[in-house]
Structure 1
Amino acid sequence: MIRIGVIGCGYWGPNLIRNFVSCPETQLVWACDLDNNRMMKALRSFPNVKKTTNFMDILADSNVDAIAIATPVHTHFPIAEKCLHEGKHVLVEKPLAVSVEQGEKLVQLAAKQNLRLMCDHIFCYTGAVRKIKDMIKNGELGELYYFDSVRINLGLFQQDVNVIWDLAPHDLSILSYLIGSEPVSVSAHGLSHAGNSLENIAYLVLKYDHNFIAHLHLNWLSPVKIRRIIIGGSEKMLVWNDLDPDEKIKIYNKGIMVKKLKQEERSRLLVSYRYGDMYAPQIDNTEALLLMVSEFASCIEENRPALTDDKSALRVLRVLEAAEISVKSHGANIPLKYT
């Protein structure tokens, strides 16, 4: 059993606490938050968990195997770095850090210490994403053409990151997991309407080295909440509406058929349309966060990379950083390099 300490009892921390208690592979030993009242509220149902307002108390406990970090983004790097130096495995709320440079340092430190470093890219553990992954792997959608996501709502405005760094990690981690390849370039546009320099609306376009493109629409200033992804393939198309309680995924047997023309006839494009049935497959409703904390424990026990390991988190960071550069450069196309 992996003994866990959680740092941060704010928005996401209580969810981690609840699932670490529920998971049969983990034991929640410590919790920490600078706000004692907030921490007491989060631990009201778990009186046996030790409490502290100084996370160094947790690091000093040799009985603690691993740390989960659910703190503001700008604190991820310094806290994770201290945890790794003290020999603790680390789970970090997304994104891994505020820059590629910081992310690389954490990845290198984890490797040097032979410790597991994992990022909480929670959507990769949902039943919907796991179902889509199976369908892509089995070739049900055919050759993939595009990925189009809309992740918008009114708020929650963050104080230390813009809408790209807050919302895009979800879709970028999903993309990386589903597609199995990384974009070669990104261009982005964004604007701020809140009286600061943090963009609250953004559009990202990711290009790949094959005939595939991805578009992300991110917005904190929408009158409605939408969580929708459309994936188009040569055989079938898919719509994932995460807010639909009953039919989250719908598969459409629709597409186009292009007739091959002779050389002298290529000025005429013969496209016909295929209209077929729609169906909604059954998906596993196991809580994604429970699967994620179980994966964290398992990757430590088995000394293997996690599904959302530090290297996958670093790939997400590369796109985020390039997208921010593009926004500041009025939508310039920024090439991506991976090491």
Structure 2
Amino acid sequence: MIGIAVIGYGYWGPNLVRNIADIPDARLVYVCDLQKDRLAPVQARYPTVAVTDNIDEVLRDPRVDAVAIATPVSSHFKLAMKALMAGRHVFVEKPMAATSEEARRLVDEAHRRGLKLAVDHTFVHTGAVRKMREIVEDGLGDMYYYDSVRVNLGLFQHDVSVVWDLAVHDLSIMDYVLREKPIAVSATGMSHVIGEPENIAYLNLFFESKLIAHVHVNWLAPVKVRRTLIGGSSKMIVYDDLEPSEKIKVYDKGITLNGTGNGDVYQMLVGYRTGDMYAPQLDMTEALGRELRQFVSCIDGDAQPTTDGLAGLRVVRILEAATQSLAQRGRVVELEPARMIA
């Protein structure tokens, strides 16, 4: 039985508590939050769970094997490092840290101590995204593009930009689904409130091949859109997270290019191929529950979580580079070679 403490009971903490309480091989030992008024509902619903506003009390308790951290991004590194140094496994909200240096230090510390470090990239554990990876691995032909849109009206964040709040989802999905990792990023965006971080942004990611990725995130859209397109030479995928049932649609469509390729349009023939569309059956298990069960299983065994510290580091590195590019009006920022953080 793995004893787990949840640190932070604000927006996401209640979801962690609910799912951990339902895992047969886990025991919810503590819920910790600096705002004591948040803890009353925990005591009412889970009377056997201890509550506290002191993380040191949590880490001193030998019943606690792991902690799940759901606090603001600025506190992730400090809390996660403290837990790792206390010999506890760590499950931390996305993004895992505020800088790539902090993320790398967490990865190194977990490795040095033989502890499991998982990052809550929840969408990676959905049936839709797992199916999308399976389809990509089966083959779409030559990969052309990855294009995602994640927009809505609010919720505005004051401590992080829309890139760190929304794009992190799409970047974690892209990291999981695509075999190839980006080598550079360019980002443009704008803040429409003085003194506040960017509320709209466009990211372009470049790869060694001719694959290109684009991510559009926006807190100012009048409608909510959660859509991703992946294009290959033989098949294309549309992933719409707001669809109630057919979230993934696979189109047997593509193009073929024939000709000399010397720039003479009359010698270049473009062939369009149109086939069937199908919507595969998806596993509808709640993603967070699946993710937490995998985390507990990894603590008991030798496997690493799907979204481990290295996956979290790769995403933070892109977010950091995108932030640098935003500050320089879209200048291309090279990324650390994937083999260095794979």
Q: TM-score, normalised by structure 1?
A: 0.96
Where does residue 287 of structure 2 map in the other structure? 288
Alignment deviations for residues 24-52 of structure 1 (CA, whole Å, 9 cap, x no partner): 22111110111222222245322211100
Q: What is the distance in 2 between the residues matched to 1:55 and 1:179?
A: 38
- 1:300-315 superposed matches below 5 A: 300-315=299-314
Alignment deviations for residues 301-331 of structure 1 (CA, whole Å, 9 cap, x no partner): 1133211000111011110100000000110
Tell me whether 1:174 sits opposite 2:173 in the alignment: yes
Alignment deviations for residues 164-190 of structure 1 (CA, whole Å, 9 cap, x no partner): 111111111111111123100000001
Q: What is the distance in 1 between the residues matched to 2:39 and 2:272?
A: 58
Q: What is the distance in 1 between the residues matched to 2:246 and 2:85?
A: 46
- Aligned partner of residue 134 in structure 1, secondary structure: helix
Q: Which runs of 5 or more residues in structure 2 are unaligned?
A: none
- Aligned partner of residue 318 in structure 2, secondary structure: helix
Where does residue 221 of structure 2 map in the other structure? 222
CA pair 89-188 structure 1, distance change in 2 beyond 3 A? same
Instruction: Report the count of equivalent residues.
Output: 338
- Aligned partner of residue 259 in structure 1, secondary structure: strand
Where does residue 324 of structure 2 map in the other structure? 325
RMSD: 1.5
Where does residue 143 of structure 2 map in the other structure? 144
- Aligned partner of residue 135 in structure 1, secondary structure: helix
Q: Which runs of 5 or more residues in structure 1 are unaligned?
A: none
The question of whether the paired residues in 2 share the 8 Å contact of 1:35 and 1:53 is answered with: yes
CA pair 20-195 structure 1, distance change in 2 beyond 3 A? same
- Paired residue type of 2:116: R
The question of whether the paired residues in 2 share the 8 Å contact of 1:204 and 1:216 is answered with: yes
- Paired residue type of 2:91: L
Note the C-alpha offset of 1:268: 2.8
Where does residue 104 of structure 2 map in the other structure? 104
- 1:38-187 superposed matches below 5 A: 38-139=38-139, 141-187=140-186
Alignment deviations for residues 45-83 of structure 1 (CA, whole Å, 9 cap, x no partner): 222111001111110101110000000010001111110
Q: What is the distance in 1 between the residues matched to 2:268 and 2:33?
A: 63
Q: What is the distance in 1 between the residues matched to 2:24 and 2:153?
A: 37
CA pair 102-276 structure 1, distance change in 2 beyond 3 A? same
The question of whether the paired residues in 2 share the 8 Å contact of 1:149 and 1:230 is answered with: yes
The question of whether the paired residues in 2 share the 8 Å contact of 1:116 and 1:303 is answered with: no
Note the C-alpha offset of 1:194: 2.3
The question of whether the paired residues in 2 share the 8 Å contact of 1:145 and 1:233 is answered with: yes
CA pair 262-126 structure 1, distance change in 2 beyond 3 A? closer
Tell me whether 1:11 sits opposite 2:6 in the alignment: no
Moved more, 265-274 or 172-181: 265-274
Note the C-alpha offset of 1:263: 7.0
Alignment deviations for residues 240-292 of structure 1 (CA, whole Å, 9 cap, x no partner): 11001021111112221222349796753211212222221110000000110
Q: What is the distance in 1 between the residues matched to 2:150 and 2:67?
A: 29
- Paired residue type of 2:188: H
- Paired residue type of 1:196: G
CA pair 314-264 structure 1, distance change in 2 beyond 3 A? closer
The question of whether the paired residues in 1 share the 8 Å contact of 2:183 and 2:208 is answered with: yes
Note the C-alpha offset of 1:197: 3.7
The question of whether the paired residues in 2 share the 8 Å contact of 1:4 and 1:27 is answered with: yes
- Aligned partner of residue 44 in structure 1, secondary structure: helix
The question of whether the paired residues in 1 share the 8 Å contact of 2:151 and 2:221 is answered with: yes
CA pair 262-12 structure 1, distance change in 2 beyond 3 A? closer
The question of whether the paired residues in 1 share the 8 Å contact of 2:107 and 2:117 is answered with: yes
Identity of aligned pairs, percent?
50
CA pair 196-42 structure 1, distance change in 2 beyond 3 A? farther
The question of whether the paired residues in 1 share the 8 Å contact of 2:5 and 2:29 is answered with: yes
CA pair 179-40 structure 1, distance change in 2 beyond 3 A? same
The question of whether the paired residues in 1 share the 8 Å contact of 2:145 and 2:231 is answered with: yes
- Paired residue type of 2:51: K
Moved more, 250-259 or 80-89: 250-259
Moved more, 300-309 or 217-226: 300-309
The question of whether the paired residues in 2 share the 8 Å contact of 1:9 and 1:42 is answered with: no
CA pair 231-332 structure 1, distance change in 2 beyond 3 A? same
- Paired residue type of 1:212: L
CA pair 43-296 structure 1, distance change in 2 beyond 3 A? farther
List, as ranges, runs of 4+ consecutive aligned residues in structure 1 with deviation greater than 6 Å: 262-266
The question of whether the paired residues in 2 share the 8 Å contact of 1:227 and 1:243 is answered with: yes
- Aligned partner of residue 151 in structure 1, secondary structure: strand
The question of whether the paired residues in 1 share the 8 Å contact of 2:149 and 2:215 is answered with: yes
- Aligned partner of residue 173 in structure 2, secondary structure: helix
- Aligned partner of residue 79 in structure 2, secondary structure: helix
